[in-house]
Every structure is written in C-alpha cells, then in structure tokens.
Amino acid sequence: MTPSDRVPVSVGELLDTRPEILGAAAEDFGHLVRRPPLGVLRPRSAAEVRDALVYAGPRGIPVAARAGGHSLYGQGQAPDGIVLDLSALAAVGPVNGDRVTVQAGARWTDVLAATLPHGLTPPVLTDYLGAGVGGVLSAGGLGGASHRHGLVADSVLELEVVTGAGEHLLCSPDRHGALFDAVLAGLGQLAVIVRATLRLSPAPATVRRYCLYYPGVDAYLADQRLLATDRRFDHLEGQARPVADTPDGWTYLVEAVAAHRGTAPPDDRRLRAGLAFGSVEATDLGYAEFARRVAADEELLRATGEWLHPHPWLNLLLPEDATASVVTGVLRDPGFRDLRENGVVLLYPLLTGALRAPMFRRPRGEVVFLLALLRTAAPGAAGPMVAANRGLYESARAKGAVAYPVNALPMTPRDWRAHYGIGWAALARAKGVHDPHGVLGGGHGMAW
C-alpha cells in the first residue's frame, strides 16, 4: 500500500512523500534519533490541520507538528505517521495595543521584528530566537526574564488549536479554560497549536549587561538567589565556565541585565550592592542586539558544520538545596568532561511562584535552578553522552530534580508518570477527551 492509498484526497493532495522530504522530517536539531514519517503535510489553514487529524485519529496514524524542528530526541517526529510542517502558518501581527497574534509556525525572531517597531516585546524570550512559536509554547519556554515573568507560555492570552479529536477551538482562561491550561507546556499531547495571542511589554531601547564573576559555586548560588528574589535586574542568567586557576577548575558567571529607564542609565552602585563577586564587566547594548545575541553563535556553528552534529543536551530543574551538590558532581564527572571543550553550562535561578502554566513541572521550593548542559558530539559519538544524561537524570531526580523536557534523554512511560506525579491522572483524562485515539505527542515516549 502506498502513502496516497492511506489518506483521503483532501489530505493526500498535499502529502509530500518525496524521499528527501521524508529524510528531512526524520531529523531534528538533536541529530540523535531518525524516524521517517509516512508523509509531510504543509497545512495552509487550521481547516487543513483539522482534516489531517480527523483522518488520522480513527486510523491510529501518528501526527506530529513541526515548526523550527529544534527538538532534541525525536519529540517532533512521527514514525510511519504524518508530520505537520507548520512553516506556511507563520504570519505575525498586526500588533494591537499590548498584544500580538502569531501563527505557530513563526519563529520568535519574526515576532520580535514585528513588535520592536512598536516599542514592545514579549515579556520572556528564550535565548535562541530561531525556534518556532508553537514548539516553545508546548514546552513552556524559559529565559532570562523568567524570574520576573514566568514562562514564555505564561504570556499567552488566547490559543487557536485543533485537538487530536479534530475539534477546531479557540481557548483562553475564560473559554475552554481546562484545555487552554493543558495545552500550554503540555508537550503537544492534546492539540496542535495553530495560533496564539501574546501579551507584550514595553521594550527598552538600551540595556546594560553586567558579567559578574565568582571563583566558587556557593557564593554564586547565594547571590543568584538574592538577585532572583529582589528582582533588581530585568534579565538574569548565568554559566559555569572552565578555568585553570580556581579551586574546582571552574568560574561562575552571573549575566544580569538592567534596562535604561528613559534617559537615565542604570545605577551601578545600587545594582551591585550586597554582592560577593570577584570581578565585573559592564557593557551597554541596544535591546535588539542583546535579544539576538545568540544569532552570531549560530552563524559560526553553521559555517563550521557543527550545527548539523549531534546535540545530546540535558536540561534539569534542581531544588535549591541540591543544586550545589549536583552541579559540582557533574563538573567532576568523567562522563561530562567534554563540557570543558565543546559545551556550555547554564545555571540560573527561577522563582516557582512565577511559573504559572499548570502542566509545567517544577521541583519543590520557592527558588529552583535551571542546569542546562549544552554539548555537541562528533557524528556517531553521542551514545555515551546520552547514557551519561540518563545517569545524571536518575541521580538528580533522587534529590528532587525535575526534567525540563527539552532533552536528549530517553524517558520511559514510568518516568513520565513519575514526572507528572499526582497530575498524571488529570492529564490522562484530558488525553481521553481531546486525543481519544492517542495520535499526538508520541515522540515523547508516553504510553496511554
């Protein structure tokens, strides 16, 4: 049976089954899992998304939505199914007051390009703006402003979705509110996001970026906690960087950014008060330049070919009382020694009270820390790194950590039940209503 024999004319006319297209849809940014679909559909409207799901659901054909293709371990793939390439659903705007409506296939760089001329920006942006809107909202989305404004998904005012049952719905906190809450940070388990209306905030013209350096992790974590809770900075992230002249071979960098308010520059004395850093650098940047700061790194990695290498990344949310032990253990672990040569270690605080999407899992406590291990592997050499990710996940989970599920991390159905804890039963009930045939979100490895 050929692919066109298995789909109706309305879907089959648009289904692309060329080998090169199937090959591209079998890959993602992780370059670790390769699972070809039956075909690729490029819907031009919500109605075409609905047609695909109405057909696929009763026949048990897996469906996965793909925007930027930046999943790490096959989460956006649909083996022997249909990949919905949302690139034709990429309209942004117009900006209307303090909000903008964007289609799910748009990239965040397109969103920012539309809002900045109005002096506005999404309250939270991820570091990498090349990701698709729908994918980030399905994951939740974390960034340097999350300690103040929560998830990227927390700025959503309304969603247009097509459920796995083929229902085309508008949902918001006041309209189909339970579905709205379950789709945001819901990992694509219930519905395909077609369009989102986002709340916007005033964007500064200029920011001052402070790089505060610490020789040890304890003072670094204490100051990061202080900065997160007193919210003196608009943007707060941080890194561990390898060096040769500190006790543990690493230095710790707080990246803190303050907006210029009107014509007045930030008050350096007030912003640095009470902190225990060893040295500091400060630079003034245009806000657009700062927001797009990762673009230069992408260009370099594309030029060297490393962008197409495997990316066995791991993102964990750590409870505050376990952060120091987990971090120092990782940085000494032979399984992660390559972090010194070809990796980036992000480490920065979040306030759990600001993370509002109900489906987003987080550890206990007021303050938690994101630990992101962003590694690049030589082709064919990523297996031990993925195994190391799994080992770290298990040991950190025993200390109360939770995966931020944008990972190169094999997860079993039992892992997912533990991940959601008491929320699993509610998710399963919603799955039964909105995706009764279980065709969505299969790339995550949940079992229903």
Instruction: Give the model confidence (pLDDT) of 208-229 as tens digits.
Output: 999 999 999 999 999 999 999 9
Res. 10 pLDDT band, cuts 50 70 90: low
- Kindly state the average pLDDT of the residues 241-247: 84
Res. 4 pLDDT band, cuts 50 70 90: very low
In one-letter notation, the amino acid at residue 137 is L
Which pLDDT score, from 0 to 100, does residue 8 have?
Answer: 54
Q: Which of 54-68, 130-144, 157-171, 242-256 has the lowest mean pLDDT?
A: 242-256
pLDDT digits over 138-161, tens only? 999 999 999 999 999 999 999 999
Residue 335, pLDDT > 80, answer yes
Smallest Cα–Cα separation from 142: which of 118, 126, 163? Answer: 126
Res. 5 pLDDT band, cuts 50 70 90: very low
- Kindly state the average pLDDT of the residues 321-347: 95
Tokens at residue 220, please?
A: 């670094």
- Kindly state the average pLDDT of the residues 271-286: 97
Q: What's the mean pLDDT when you consider all of the chain?
A: 94
